[in-house]
Amino acid sequence: MSRGPFTFYEFFAGGGMARLGLGEAWACRFANDFDPAKAAAYRANFPDAAAHFRHGDVWALRAADLPGRADLAWASSPCQDFSLAGARAGLSGGRSSAFYGFWRLVEGLAKDGRAPRMVVIENVAGLLTSHGGKDFEALAAALAGQGYRFGALEIDAAAFLPQSRPRVFIVASRGPAPAALTGPSPWHTRGVKVAFDRLPPALATDWIWWRLAAPPVRNLDLAALLEDDSAVAWHRPERTARWLALMSPLHRQRIEAARARGARAVGAMFRRMRREDGRTVQRAEVRFDGLAGCLRTPRGGSSRQAIVVLEGGEARTRLLTPREAARLMGLPESYRLPDAATAALMVAGDGVAVPVVRWLAQLLLEPLLEDRAVMAAE
């Protein structure tokens, strides 16, 4: 039994990747983001944005700005210096306090009798362990305080796309969990289990071990998503040499091993700051496992990811293009990226992987809402 379109609010919406992942069975009632480039991307890709998208700080919103009641409130809140255990600093608290700006709205909706039936909070895996687990405990307390039961899933986008991108999805719902949607899951990682074990008993009683199966084995690798060699700009040999010179012995061995195999090899390469012998040094690191490293935003301080191709004994390097980054997030070719490369990479790198959201919605969120509809009708 399906009760028709599901409704949702999307906070920290970015370029609308959660909306794309939820799919056509879902109708957006309200969306919000603070960043101008992301807001522009959202408007460019969703013709109905004028009716429901609000560009601005989440702390400037009121519950009265949100129409009706939604089945789901989705929040991919900023992860920089994430802290939920600290004071609710509001507009003066920086990006990491944005969660409380969102939660203040959920509390306001609850006072109006319009609390979302479900809440999904997506963030980096570090949320489970930051401040010794106190941040996750604070989030759990906020959910439980509004009558939600909750559980966490740590899903790596690498199961769906050729990008290593582990993220935590906290799924919260009012009412009991259907037996068919609870039980063992490959996404109950060690980090999730440790986070649960750290919860005080009063919060642990509100925990749900959500069941979510793994998807079919991925048959797509990084090379399959790249542009043709002739369509991209390659580094000059001296710049490639500089990249290779930054590698530690381990990563140079990876290059030489790939060369020795003789066949064309495609790898992902990125720069990192590492501590070696008591000092901080810049290193180039490479992987040839068919995956890109986790996409990041230029604003986050990490360098733009590069591609290395070994063929005929020669190494060539170049930067990952914005369109390739979009493909690594599961965005369709029709998705309109910002013209500026930095803005386009920020929109892609700061989003949520589209097929991960679709899997979560199809196997957990939609069945849960359908179960609630059946219970209400009986």
- pLDDT, one tens digit per residue, over 208-261 is 999 999 999 999 999 999 999 999 999 999 999 999 999 999 999 999 999 998
β-pairing, 149-156 vs 72-75, is: unpaired
Q: What is the mean pLDDT of the chain?
A: 91
92-99 long-range contacts, Cβ below 8 Å, gap at least 24?
98/12, 98/34, 98/58, 98/59, 99/75, 99/139
- pLDDT, one tens digit per residue, over 311-355 is 988 999 999 999 999 999 999 999 999 999 999 999 999 999 999
| Cα Rg of the chain, angstroms | 22
Say if pTM beats, i.e. exceeds, 0.75. yes
CA distance 204 to 193: 11
CA distance 353 to 168: 12
Structure tokens that stand for 346 in this block: 């920020």
Contact 124, 169 (CB under 8 A): no
3 state SS of 274? strand
Contact 215, 359 (CB under 8 A): yes
| Dihedral of alpha carbons 175, 178, 181, 182, sign | positive
* Domains and their CATH numbers in the chain: 6-215+351-377 (3.40.50.150), 228-320 (no CATH)
β-pairing, 72-75 vs 118-124, is: parallel
pLDDT in tens, the chain (378 residues): 445 589 999 999 999 999 999 999 999 999 999 999 999 999 999 999 999 999 999 999 999 999 999 999 999 987 654 545 444 443 334 444 788 899 999 999 999 999 999 999 999 998 899 888 988 998 999 999 999 999 999 999 999 999 999 999 999 999 889 999 999 999 999 999 999 999 999 999 999 999 999 999 999 999 999 999 999 999 999 999 999 999 999 999 999 999 998 899 999 999 888 999 899 999 999 999 999 999 987 654 456 899 999 998 899 999 999 999 999 999 999 999 999 999 999 999 999 999 999 999 999 999 999 986 644 543
Q: Is 52 left (phi over 0), alpha (psi -120 to 50) or beta?
A: alpha
